[in-house]
Amino acid sequence: MRITQISVFLSNSLGRLESVCKTLADAAVNINTITILESGDYGIVRMIVDKPSQAREALQAAGFSCKEVEVLAVEVADEPGALYKLLEKTKNAGVNLEYMYAMTKPSGQNPLMIMSFKDIALAEKILG
């Protein structure tokens, strides 16, 4: 399933992430999952939220540099070899994975993997 991720560029300094979270709290946006990629002076925060466009508007209005990015959310069975089988398919099709992180699905038992591909359309076709 194709979903929208919010990516925010942040300087690595005290209180910046707190400020992002406060902005989202004030806009009544719920964060489903969040991950931070750190690179020395700065980082990129990636989030799946319940209301992506409201989240982006609120963050931009608060002066943050943020983007909506399309990613795939793929349910992966909670058992040995499940992720392997999935990645084998994409490898055989020549679609390279850019990055990936996990998210628990509020209702189901299986985790969701949030996956980013350059060719998202092809990846979506392969992974169904």
Chain residues binding other proteins by CB under 8 A are 5, 7, 9-11, 16, 37, 39-42, 44, 46, 63-67, 69, 98, 116
Instruction: Say whether 63 sits in a helix, a strand or coil.
Output: coil
Q: How far apart are CA 27 and CA 7, in angstroms?
A: 17
Q: How far is the CB of 79 from other proteins (least distance, A)?
A: 31
Q: Which two tokens stand for residue 79?
A: 């058992």
Q: Report the alpha-carbon angle 106-112-116, nearest 5.
A: 135
When the beta carbons of 90 and 116 are compared against other proteins, the nearer one is 116
Q: How far is the CB of 112 from other proteins (least distance, A)?
A: 18
When the beta carbons of 63 and 94 are compared against other proteins, the nearer one is 63
Q: How far is the CB of 121 from other proteins (least distance, A)?
A: 17
CB atoms near residue 70 (< 10 Å) = 13
Strand pairing class (97-104; 111-117): antiparallel
When the beta carbons of 50 and 70 are compared against other proteins, the nearer one is 70
